[in-house]
Structure 1
Amino acid sequence: MSDLMFFTNPMSRGRIVRMMLEEVGAEYATTVLEYGPEMRSSEYLAINPMAKVPAIVHRGTVVTEAAAICAYLADVYPDAGLAPPPTERGAYYRWLFFGAGPVEAAVTNATFNIDTSDPQIRGRVGYGDLASVLDTLEGVMSDREWLLGERFSAVDVYLGSQVAWGMMFGTIEKRPAFESYAARLRERPAIQRAAAKDDALMPPQGG
C-alpha cells in the first residue's frame, strides 16, 4: 500500500492536487471516486465527512481542501522548493489564503448572480466584489513572473489553477496579465503530466 493515497475525480479540484503531486515528485496511488454513492460510502466519509474530493491520506494523516493539501505537500516534500522558509512566508500565506477565500467566494457568488453591490452586503462578504478581487490579482500578476516573484511555489499551483480555469469556463474575465501568467503555468512539465493523467481518466465524449 502506498504511503500517499490520493482521492479524486478528474472533473474536480482534484486536478489542482494532481498538479501539486507531480510538482513535488511524490509517489502516490490514485483512487477515482464517482460523484454520488461512491463519495458517500462509509469508507470515504471516514476520510472526508463532506463527501467531496480531493483528499489525501499520507502515512495516516488525512488532509482535505485543495489549498491545505498544496501547503501540506510543499512542507512534506521540502526538496521540491515549493514553499519559502517559514520566516519568509508572508506573501506565500497571503496569496494562498486570498485564493482560498476572496477568489473562491467572489467567483462562486458571481457565477450564481449573487449581487454584492449594496454597500451593507459589500462590507459583510469580506471580498467586496469580483472586480476588486480581479483588480488585486491583476496588480500582482502584471509585474512578476510568479506570485512570489521569480520563485514558483505552491501558491502558483493553487491560485494559478483558479485563474486559468476561471478564464476557460468564463467565470474570470480574460486580461492580458492573466493570460500570460496562465500560459507560463501550462508550460511547466509537471502541470502537463498532471493534465495528461487526469484527461486520461475523463469519461468518453459522445456515445
Structure 2
Amino acid sequence: MKLTFYTNPRSRGAIVRWMLEEVGAPYDTVVLDYGPPMKTPEHRALNPMGKVPVLVAGDQVVTEAAAICAFLADAFPAAGLAPPPARRGAYYRWLFFGAGPVEAAVTNQSLGVEVPEDRRGMVGYGSFDTMLATLEKAVSVAPYLAGDAFSAADVYTGSQIGWGLQFGTLPPTPALTAYWDRVKDRPARRRAAEIDGILTEG
C-alpha cells in the first residue's frame, strides 16, 4: 500500500510522523506551507478543511490525526500498535479521550474560554480540572494507556501530553511527567522529531 503523507512540521502532522515511524512502512512526504498551499482545490479535494495532516493510503484518504493513528495501527498489525480487537476498550477510550476532552479543554483554556459551572454538562470535558484529574489517573494505572504495551493511544494522547508539558498548557504534575518520560525517548519518536526538526529548519 503506497502511503503519501501531507504535513507541515509545525502542525499535528508531527503526531502522524511519529506514528509512521513506529509502523516502519515506507512513505512519501508532501510538506505544505500554511495559507494558500493548503487551500488549493487539489488539497481541499483530500481535506475540505484545508488542513494537514492528511494520509493517502492506496485509494483511501484519512484525515484527523487520531483517525490516522488508528488506521495505521490496523493497517500494519505486525507493528503491534493496537491490542487484539476484543481487548481494545482502554485503547479506544484513551485514544479518543485525547482527541476529544483533552484537546478541547486545553484549547479553551489557552483561549481564555471558561465554561460557566452551570453549563459544564454541555461540553465533553466538563471542566479543565476534571479532564486533568482523569488524564492523570489514566497514565497512572499502568505503564501505558492501553495497559502493559505501548500503542497508538500513546502516540496520539502522549503527544498531547508532551506538547502540553512543553508549552505550559498542561501542568507538570508528577503523573504526567513520569508518563512522558516513559515514552518520549522511543526511537521512532526521536526519528520523527529529527525529521520534522530538519524540515522546520529548512
Letter in 2 for 1:20: M
- 1:52 alignment partner in structure 2: 51
- Among residues 163, 175, 188, which one is paired with 2:186 in the alignment? 188
Aligned match for 2:140, one of 136, 139, 142: 142
Tell me if the contact between 1:117 and 1:129 (Cα under 8 Å) persists in the aligned partners: no
Q: Which residue of 1 aligns with 2:65?
A: 66
What residue number does 1:113 align with? 112
The CA deviation string for residues 122-167 of structure 1, in whole angstroms up to 9 with x for no partner, is 1111211111111011112123211112110000000000001011
Deviations 1:57-88 (A, max 9, x none): 00010000000000000000000010111111
SS in 1 for 2:200: coil
Corresponding residue of 2:151: 153
User: Unmatched 5+ residue regions in structure 1?
Assistant: none
- The SS at the match of 2:171 is coil
Question: Distance in 2 between the 1:139 and 1:58 partners?
Answer: 35
- Identity across aligned pairs (percent)? 57
Alignment partners' CA distance in 1, 2:12 and 2:54: 10
What is the CA-CA distance between 1:10 and the residue it aligns to?
Answer: 0.3
C-alpha separation in 2, matches of 1:84 and 1:126: 26
Q: How many pairs were matched up?
A: 202
Q: Does the aligned pair in 2 maintain the 1:106–1:129 contact within 8 Å?
A: yes
SS at 1:57's partner residue? strand
User: Which structure is higher in helix share?
Assistant: 2
Alignment of 1:122-137 (within 5 A): 122-137=120-135
Runs of 4+ in 1 over 3 A off after TM superposition: none
Q: Is the 8 A contact 1:166 1:172 kept in 2?
A: yes
SS at 1:91's partner residue? helix
Displacement, 1:43?
1.0
Please list every run of 5 or more consecutive structure 2 residues that lacks an aligned counterpart in the other structure.
none
> SS where residue 159 of structure 1 aligns?
helix
1:38 match: secondary structure = helix
CA distance in 2, matches of 1:158, 1:37: 27
Q: Match of 2:102?
A: 103
CA distance in 1, matches of 2:169, 2:60: 34
Tell me the secondary structure at the aligned position of residue 56 of structure 2.
Answer: strand
Query: What is the distance in 2 between the residues matched to 1:180 and 1:170?
Result: 16
Residue number among 141, 162, 165 corresponding to 1:164 in the alignment: 162
Q: Distance in 2 between matches of 1:67 and 1:26?
A: 18
Letter in 2 for 1:103: V
Match in the other structure for 1:173: 171
Q: Kindly provide the amino acid, as one letter, of the partner of residue 142 in structure 1.
A: S
Give TM-score scaled by structure 1 length: 0.95
Report the Cα distance in structure 1 between the residues aligned to 2:19 and 2:12, rounded to whole angstroms: 12
Query: Is the CA contact 1:91–1:148 (under 8 Å) kept in the aligned structure 2?
Result: yes
